[in-house]
Amino acid sequence: MAGGRGRLHKPTGAATSATPKRTTRRGAASQDATWVPDVFHDLLSEATSSKAAGPEEDRKPLKKRKTALSTRPIPAKPADGRHPATSSKATPPRTLAEDAFVSSDKEDDEGSDARPIQTIIDSDESDESDLEWEDALGEGDIDEDENAGDEEEAELSDLSITIAGDKGKEKETTKKVRRRGITSVDKKRRLDIHKMHVLCLLYHVHRRNAWCNDGRVQAGLRKLPPPKILSNLVPNPEFNQYQASKRFIDGMNELKIMWGNKFKVTALGIHKPRWHDVDAEAQAFTDFDDLDIPMDRQDFRKAASSLQGSQDIGAQLFCALLRAIGVEARLVCSLQVLPFASAAQASTPSKPSSEKSTIHLDPYNNIEAPSPSKPKPKPPARPKRLSRLEKIMGERNLALSSGVAPRQKKKYHTAYPVYWVEALNPAHQKWVPIDPHSTFTVDKSDKLEPPLNSAQNSLVYAVAFEDDSVAKDVTRRYAKAYNAKTRKFRVECAEGGVKWWRRALKVFRRGAPLDRDQVEDAALARKEAAEGIPKNVQDFKDHPVYVLERHIKHNEVIHPLHQVGKVNVSSAMNPKMEPIYRRGDVHVVRSADKWYRLGRDVKAGEQPLKYAKPKKNARRSLPPDADVDMDEQEEVGAGLYAPFQTELYVAPPVIRGRVPRNAFGNLDLYVPSMVPPGGVHVPHKLASKAARIVGVDYADAVTGFSFKGRHGTAVVQGVVVAQEYKEAVEAALDAMEHAQVEAENAARTAEALRLWRKFYLGLKIAQRVNAIEIEGEKGPQINVHEELERQDKLMTEQQMAGGFFPDEGTVTEPPSRAREHYETSTYDEDDGGGFLPDLEDDDNQETRKLGLIRQDSEHFGSTLLSQQQLRPRQEEEQSGGFTTEDDGEDAGGFIREPSPPPHQDDMQGGFVQTDAAADDFAGGYESYAGQYCGGRTE
DNA sequence: CGACTCATTA
DNA sequence: AATACAATGAGTCG
């Protein structure tokens, strides 16, 4: 992408846009905000909503217009006087067009607009996935091979000739290198990028189409056609339909010729992008000089007045011209989208990297530098042929062109259009394609599709935009083999692709279809139907209408085995016929068991349409006799049934509160529909307990299986009870939940108190231990007093910051209390007597722990500090503190069995003054205390 | 005859 | 287990 940007900023020879960059940025940003979430939906809603913001947006462009006006002597002066809205053909339902028109003024520059994306680096194709692949392949040997392969590969690309000592080895290595698995992740990513690209292109066309409504553009163009042509286009009521139609076509031809003479093609337009080859060199910037510059509306106007630009621009302006003179015109674009299928497919035609790169560099100039006399060895043959084909095609079409003198600017001529125009023939209400630049044809829809192998242009999505931004997919009008070929390059072929495409175009759909829409739909449908049955096996693959038996999956059958098309050749002169069936007759099949899992039951008396393949049992006798195989197959294969052989499974009903069960005492509830009549599913974890408490009959609901390892265990989710008990059970559940919450709260409180006690004890013990002299030396001491001071301070700070201690007094209480003890300096048995007696064990533990701490008081301090960062309020951290801290057994016991209240009693006297205070602590402080006490064990 | 497409193979 | 990729050979079209 970075490359792309760099490219964009590269100044190109022709008219450079005077657009200040910040405008770009601002525009893009504002667009982004609404654009991101759901690309298309938002695109539209933004467009519609921006209407409201219209005036404000209009302001900005004004400035721009001024400068533009002052610098350019535009012939659009009269138009300028008018308000844009009035000058543009002001179609009543111009929601989209107008909005885009308005808003596009604001975000003038548009990177993707004129400059096609050339190459996209498929980063995934690089080392990472390769490495993975190689690793997966695995043993150490491969590494060597890999390297060798790389070397040779490099040599190959550099010198074109490699003299390797061992041919066999070379082959092997290259194979290994070549063989690069395309992961499913990779595929998905490609598809996503493809989709994104489609959306971007759609938007691009949408904007260009909106520009075609530009008042000034139209005003300038309107003056071009001589009155004679125009008068021919005025419908004559005396003509019959045929005459009128002919007149219209003729008029279009004249306009096309006129346009061809006026408009000068000076740049290259969009062409088909390719996935970047990992080992291909980066393209030189100069390679892009011939391309269209990125455009904003001003540039577009400029192009309209100077009548220069790429063929794309030419077609767009031609569209504007038609609209300007009152002809209903569509801007059609064949989206040149990055293919998703296989990267290799695109690059296959051009094999050797050297040659590839040349093609790469000059995507459009093959005509200029064709290959007829190129003294290159075999490898270049492929691309050469292509280009030559291109050339031939181009020339032929040139020859076909009716009376247009081909422009001398042949360099920029492409054989097939990316943009063209459809004009509505009022006589038939039919759309007439006009391609004024590439094929120079009018009403020749079958001439616009480039050959399928063309590297520069492929017709995959042809989308036609009307002046009110209603857009329609008209690919089928132009594709010769839509079902057999074109479709395979479209999202429709991917899973959910049909829906996706429909959704992508939804924003451009017309609210209420017009007559001409229906006419067109019918025509397109007819065209598709007329496509006929493919003649080769390849085209049957993924064909939406026909199927070959060899292509159906293992879980599919062709049920009514209707040979719709009887013939199909396998090889030419010795034909092997294969029957053809309808895709509609293909059904997925499943075993009876699988159907049951889906809540369906095989109807009585239905015979399996197919039998599953026998599982590969361990027996692998080398000479598998035919009969043995047959036997095995018949034995092992499970019967498979199609959906229409099944019916909704109805469980045996609940009778008098008695819930039916399966052999395991459960009830199968794989789908909601499997709830037995008269029963209710209560999907609560504790439902079984509740039902037991209530005392009604219930059955555990098995909603699936979890396969861990090879052992599948039933997943139970709640229970099924009779309908009439539902409320009772739910009430019981409520009560249980309530009780549980209470219990948890109590447990939490108890735990908090327990930890406090521990903490306090710890301090006390520390104090005592510090007082002991060992052989006259005091050794490093924990300065309890200081620690407490510090801690107190920290807590106060935290309280300021977080504010989760409601009462300051409460907060400071424990430390101050402890200080008291410290200050007394004597360890009074009676004082501690309140809680010490039943805590002998703890006492020992504490002592040990403190011993540890004493050895690195540094750590002690840092522990305190780090604890400060914990946010006690957060549940996770609390529980984390509990589970990871001290004994560990505590953690488990805590939830189930709250620690007994006696502790609390113990504490009440000396430590915490009120219950309320304790509660406050429970939430805020426990984890702190917990960490403090427990953290040191580590 | 050459270009090009399709099917097969590993 | 199944599909995809790349090379190769055969057949067809113009």
Chain A 438-467 residues in 7 Å CB range of strand B: 451-453
CATH number at residue A111: 3.90.260.10
C-alpha–C-alpha distance, residues A718 and A703, integer Å = 9
A39 CB burial (10 A radius; 0-12, 13-18, 19+): middle
Separation between the CA of A171 and the C1’ of C8 (whole angstroms): 14
In a domain, A350, yes or no: no
Nucleotide nearest to A384 (CA to C1'): B3
In a domain, A360, yes or no: no
Nucleotide nearest to A175 (CA to C1'): C6
The tens digit of pLDDT for each residue in A688-714 reads 989 998 999 999 999 988 877 667 788
Give yes or no for CB of A553 within 7 Å of strand C: yes
In a domain, A783, yes or no: yes
- A681 with A553, same domain: the answer is no
In this prediction, residue A779 carries a pLDDT of: 62
Nucleotide nearest to A381 (CA to C1'): B3
Residue A667 dihedral angles phi and psi, to the nearest 5°: -125, 130
The tally of CA atoms less than 13 A away on the side-chain side of residue A897 is 5
Angstrom CA distances, A525 to A465, A512, A519, A782, stand at 19, 19, 10, 89
Nucleotide nearest to A615 (CA to C1'): C1
Exposure string (b/e) for A549-567, b if CB count within 10 Å is 16 or more?
Answer: eeebeeebbbbeeeeebee
3 state DSSP class of A774:
strand
Separation between the CA of A484 and the C1’ of C7 (whole angstroms): 25
In a domain, A76, yes or no: yes
Give the domain-ending residue among A588, A609, A625. A588
C-alpha–C-alpha distance, residues A84 and A214, integer Å = 7
Residue A398 dihedral angles phi and psi, to the nearest 5°: -60, -45
Element (H, E) at A870: none
Give the domain-ending residue among A736, A759, A791. A736
In a domain, A346, yes or no: no
CATH number at residue A732: 3.30.70.2460
Separation between the CA of A394 and the C1’ of C13 (whole angstroms): 19
Nucleotide nearest to A179 (CA to C1'): C5
Separation between the CA of A386 and the C1’ of C9 (whole angstroms): 21
In a domain, A363, yes or no: no
Give yes or no for CB of A176 within 7 Å of strand C: no
- A845 with A729, same domain: the answer is no
- A279 with A233, same domain: the answer is yes
Q: Angle of helix A241-262 relative to helix A311-324, nearest 10 degrees?
A: 130
DSSP letters, A239-276, are S-HHHHHHHHHHHHHHHHHHHHHH-EEEEB-----EEE
- A612 with A691, same domain: the answer is no
In this prediction, residue A278 carries a pLDDT of: 59
Separation between the CA of A388 and the C1’ of B4 (whole angstroms): 12
On chain B, which bases lie within 7 A of the protein's CB atoms?
Answer: 3-8
Q: Count structural domains, chain A.
A: 6
- A847 with A882, same domain: the answer is yes
In this prediction, residue A261 carries a pLDDT of: 93
Give yes or no for CB of A824 within 7 Å of strand B: no
C-alpha–C-alpha distance, residues A161 and A521, integer Å = 55
In a domain, A718, yes or no: yes
Nucleotide nearest to A613 (CA to C1'): C1
Chain A 69-108 residues in 7 Å CB range of strand C: none
Give yes or no for CB of A537 within 7 Å of strand B: yes
Give yes or no for CB of A538 within 7 Å of strand B: yes
Separation between the CA of A547 and the C1’ of C14 (whole angstroms): 31
Domain hosting residue A404, numbered range: 2-118+186-341+394-526
- A304 with A224, same domain: the answer is yes
- A764 with A831, same domain: the answer is yes
In a domain, A380, yes or no: no
C-alpha–C-alpha distance, residues A348 and A411, integer Å = 26
Give yes or no for CB of A480 within 7 Å of strand C: no
Residues 6+ apart with CB under 8 A from A850: A762, A765, A766, A769, A782, A936
Give the domain-ending residue among A588, A605, A628. A588
The tens digit of pLDDT for each residue in A842-861 reads 444 444 444 443 444 343 33
Residue A424 dihedral angles phi and psi, to the nearest 5°: -80, 120
Contact between A534 and A540 (Cβ < 8 Å): yes
Which amino acid is residue A518, in one-letter code?
Q
Which amino acid is residue A145, in one-letter code?
D
C-alpha–C-alpha distance, residues A854 and A277, integer Å = 64
- A109 with A137, same domain: the answer is no
Nucleotide nearest to A345 (CA to C1'): C5
Separation between the CA of A279 and the C1’ of B5 (whole angstroms): 28
Give yes or no for CB of A200 within 7 Å of strand B: no
Q: Are strands A274-276 and A119-121 parallel, antiparallel or unpaired?
A: parallel
On chain C, which bases lie within 7 A of the protein's CB atoms?
Answer: 1-7, 10-12
In the β-sheet with A590-591, what is the strand arrangement from edge to edge? A590-591, A639-641, A610-611
- A78 with A130, same domain: the answer is no
Contact between A209 and A97 (Cβ < 8 Å): yes
Nucleotide nearest to A388 (CA to C1'): B3
Give yes or no for CB of A121 within 7 Å of strand C: no
In this prediction, residue A660 carries a pLDDT of: 92
- A208 with A329, same domain: the answer is yes
What residues of chain A score a pLDDT lower than 50? 1-180, 344-409, 618-634, 802-938
- A805 with A656, same domain: the answer is no
- A731 with A745, same domain: the answer is no
Chain A 295-354 residues in 7 Å CB range of strand B: none
Give yes or no for CB of A913 within 7 Å of strand B: no
Name residue A471's beta-bridge partners: A465
Separation between the CA of A385 and the C1’ of C12 (whole angstroms): 18
Give the number of other Cβ atoms within 10 Å of residue A602's Cβ: 21
